[in-house]
Amino acid sequence: MEKNVKEAIKHRRSYYSIGNQSPVSDAEIEDLIRFASKYVPSPFNSQGTRLVLLLGDSHKKLWNIAKEILRKIVPAEAFHNTENKINSFAAGYGTVLYFEDQSIIGSLQEKFPIYKENFPVFAEHTSAMHQFAVWIMLEDIGFGASLQHYNPLIDEEIRSTWNIPETWKLLAQMPFGNPVQEPGEKSFEPVEERIRVFS
């Protein structure tokens, strides 16, 4: 059931316990990703965000890559917790990888040198909007998701495994699946202390 925008934003949470069942077809998930790619704004309409959807074996392979890389650097006595965390992501249905194409940023810097220092920041802004939009839409169709950042540790393996262009910079990973366990209660700081209104 589609929610209105406020309800969708309100119900979006970080789900760390997810399963590998999907309430929709893979084609519908792809359509959701394409929708975000097309309609989420970008600086100067540069459209530099790149999204990679990993399903099935590719999804599991991603988290196996992360686990084996972390195995080499996490102390053995602490690896059990790390492995459990990675396995919880691997247990899901899929993962969305978020990239920004650095060649787009470079061309904008050349074309608009006055904003040169700002374009990498603008790119992170548009990536964040893509992440939030996809997250809300995944939640809206019945998935639970979370946002992870194992980059840059996993970047090279991802690049070589899925033939990702050198100019694409990985910013985040979003594993998703059917919610297995509800997240805990969320606390809120007083909104009155975080917003000011003048008229």
Residue-range domains of the chain with CATH: 5-180 (3.40.109.10)
pLDDT given at position 1: 44
pLDDT given at position 3: 62
pLDDT given at position 103: 97
- Contacts by residues 29-35 (CB-CB < 8 Å, ≥ 24 positions apart): 29/53, 29/55, 29/94, 32/134, 32/137, 32/138, 32/141, 33/96, 33/134, 35/137
Angle between helices 155-162 and 56-73 (to 10 degrees): 150
Mean pLDDT by 10 residues, the chain (199 residues): 77 95 98 98 96 98 98 94 97 98 97 95 97 96 97 97 98 97 89 94
